[in-house]
Structure 1
Amino acid sequence: MLRSTRHRIRWVALLALLWLCWAVGLGEAQAGATLNIDEVIGKTRGWTIGLSTSMGGCIAAATYEDRTTVWMGFSSTKSKAFFGLSNPKWKSIVPGERYELQLTARGEGRWRGDFKGVQLSRENALLAEDLVRDFVVDIARAGALFVLYERKTIAQLSLSGSMAAIEALLDCQKDLAIAARSDGRSTEAAGTTARDGVKSDEPKSSGTGFFVSERGHMLTNNHVVEGCKVLKVVAVGDAARPAQLIARDATNDLALLKVDATPKDVPALNPRPRVGDSVFVFGFPLSGLLASNGNFTVGNITAAAGLSDDTRMIQISAPVQPGNSGGPVLDQKGNIVGVVVSKLDALVVASAIKDMPQNVNFAIKSAIAQNFLDTNGIETRSELKDKALEPAAVADLAKNFTARIECR
């Protein structure tokens, strides 16, 4: 989490005050929006996270070696995002003028669009507003961004720490929504409510899990449930249900939950994944930003071991994001070959080898998961499915036994 619990009361009160200001008309400043941070909430991976009255929501900013500052954030009043760039060397930018830029995001394609010149305190900037939220996420997870104006590269950015900034922005937006629901309470009242122990319904963090027995046992990562006082499970099309933590294996990063529910289907665990096999990942990444009914990605098993030849893992090329942890990796027949656990920190590696690794992600082998379940007396499905399915059919199957896990 970006902020500790003892700081949360202060920021909820501040957010309530800012929301009141926006509600009575300061939000109309959006027409003359500029890029600024009125109040700093915290810092993460080189990014400053804060609140911007002018932009009407939460904002993140980071300055890179060539002095280019990247600004991104979400509006509190509508499901839109903004993205901006500034550099003191860009003397020719005229506030109010339009500039067509091309953004080339490594691994995510190209985007061409209109930016407008805006005036900052010490420099001018280029700003694009009313963007689809997914666009900003795609840019953030690209790992590298090339900015071109009139076919000339004006910035080349690594976007180091950008996904951590997205997570922090989501936390900020949730706090902003809490303040909005206070609906007119004063700052003092909001602070008193928090001190009196009224807790938000918003989850502290979230991950993914999947059913492994007809009795409602669910498998996920240990790091998904670590430190949680209350656990809830939200299956696609179902209400949130309380979950009980049954067992943990910190060494192999596995955890077993029990939910009072009967899953629509229970998958079998395939203990013999092969390098080159097609695999599919289903989960609930970036909860609150991406689709709440799950995300499905496609790739291959690229290695039979993880980092430093860790034989407990397989390496996969299917894209994963924060929130995929604990989710199933399925083969082409709908059997489980692994449990999503981590992704390579591409930016750290890039700084060492001067090249950007792509789609290097890891999953705990199903054999390790099976041993964990056997140790805890969980009877799993033994018969493997043997009919190859189309990807869409695998996705439909995964929805029947995969759920979002909310940690409070």
Structure 2
Amino acid sequence: MRLNKSHGPKTQRTWWSPKRASILLVQAGLLTTSAISTPSVLADWSAFRGDGSASAAVGPATLKVEESGNLAWKTDMPGRSVASPIVFGDLVITTSSAGPDGGHLYITAVDLNSGDVRWEQSFRATGRPFCHPTSANAAPTPVSDGKRVVAFFSSNDLACLSIEGDLLWYRGLGHDHPKAGNDVGMAASPVIAENAVIVQVECKGDSFAAGIHLADGTTLWEQQRNRDSNWASPLPITRSDGSTEVVMPSGQDVVAVDPRTGDVRWKLDEGRATVSSPSLSGSYLMLPGNDLLVMRTDQSGTAPKEVWRNNRFSPRNATVASNGQALYALKGSVLIAGTMADGERKWQHRLPDFGGGWATPVVAADRIYVFDQAGNGAIIADRDDRAETVAQVELGEPVLASPALADGKLIVRSDRSLYCFQ
């Protein structure tokens, strides 16, 4: 077990601060911060909530930080974050922001097995970095296609790096949209679909969505969005004919667009949640709101069909998770389980010593991993007709980011540290 590891071994840190250019293109190989080999295995948890379900096949059986426990390592980070880590191959990628205004931006790659820092890139925000003290400029979760890493920040700075940590391109989207933001901070995570990076930026000012070419950072399309605050993240889904759509929720409606053109494929004239995000479990699309709306996506060419809706499973802040058979919704300190197919409630479980929070639960088989804002974590076992708390841990520092599951390990990003339980 490795505890309180310093932020290293240190790599050369390069600061980037494009002042007026809205796009910066860099040839791969010129800005290497450290030499590593390309992982042979593609991403296990490549985006916010992994594949959209917040589930994996295997996870740790307990959470213990003692010397004899299962905490493999803990590594200090260069700044704060409420963004989830992602994992591909043997790398964990996380973002951070630091400085008096949160304008120092970091993208850090950590070895999944040792916790050592493999590479790091640093930037200076080009947009407005200010956020609510609870949040951070590093709020959106990064995303990867296994070859590249794309990181987005509340300041609307968008960076694309190679898997080796080389800067490929950089966009300061705030140059084109100076009024895109709010005093709380932006949080919608980017997604990758059909070689396009989709960003959804919605506020009471300059709201927009855009498709950015993954290869070179140029704009493929852009559209105006509803002028209202929205922190929910878009979600890519694949239809039965193999086509890909990106679902973008808002408080006024839900639209699905072609990731390459931005053309609207279908629209739901019904507002949904603006904090918790859509999630996916097989062919089931879950749209939180005043109730949880579940739709089937296995038809092509038409809008998904409603299967059921139930207000029991409407989460407050966290997104609904599912292992395929069951779904799990967190309401404050209460975890509620239901059957995916028909929305029947299975059980309701009050979490012990749990203060509520923002992190989405993650699921491995019949185990649900939850963390509150104070850093109290628990493993809840689904016994079909009841729930059982089988492990608890106190990290002693805030946790707002949703954990990641990969290779049987649980990766937890706290305010200023990264933990790995195995």
Measured against the shorter chain, the TM-score band is: under 0.3
Indicate the structure whose relative CO is greater, using CA pairs within 8 Å and at least 6 residues apart: 2
Mark the structure with the bigger radius of gyration: 1
> TM-score, with normalisation over the residues of structure 2?
0.25
Q: Normalized per residue, which structure has more strand?
A: 2
> TM-score, with normalisation over the residues of structure 1?
0.25
